[in-house]
A = this chain, B = another copy of it.
Amino acid sequence: MIYAVQRSGYHAGMVTPRSTPVSARPSTPSDRLWSSLVGGDVAFLLARANARSLARANVALAEYDLKVRSYSVLALAADGSRPTQRELSEFLRLDPSQIVSLVDDLESRGLARREPDPNDRRANVVVATERGRDLHQRARIAAQAAEDDSFRSLDESDRDRLTALLRAIATDPAE
């Protein structure tokens, strides 16, 4: 039931350096703290697995001047979903103002544009431009490689099992 664990903005390299010689310590933090109650907690493990996955993805996406958040918006704009900003906010669980600023950024880079929503005159849908779709194609390959790396300790059937378990939690309708 413990789970700080930062997500984006975290740099993988930040965690490794250790100024104290290993020999001066009784054991590594991993040895000691993993055996704590915290270390066996499912919510903590969820947070830590997510932090690693996000860190890897952000590193991979940096080449395309994207982060996981902007990439997520671009991907949903590029796949024909035609999401409204409200839908993006709900689906990605980001504050509406964060979505506006992510879409603004993609728009200013010529990667996406807002179009009127035929179902709601007060809303806009977000659509990728051709350039946006092209960047998404390339970034997707990098993100996929990062994902494969993050989940490499699982074989395919374990990964399918994990997907199914996470889907049950992630889509549980009650908030």
Which residues of A are in contact with B by a Cβ distance under 8 Å?
1-7, 10, 12-16, 18-20, 24-26, 29-30, 32-34, 36-38, 40-54, 57, 68-69, 71-73, 75-76, 79, 81, 83-84, 86-87, 89-95, 98, 119-120, 122-123, 140, 143-144, 146-147, 150-154, 158-159, 161-163, 165-172, 175
Most buried by B among A7, A36, A91: A91
B68 touches A3 (CB 8 A): yes
B49 touches A170 (CB 8 A): yes
A163 touches B45 (CB 8 A): yes
Determine which of B25, B83, B151 lies in contact with A169 in the assembled complex, contact meaning CB atoms within 8 Å.
B151
A79 touches B37 (CB 8 A): yes
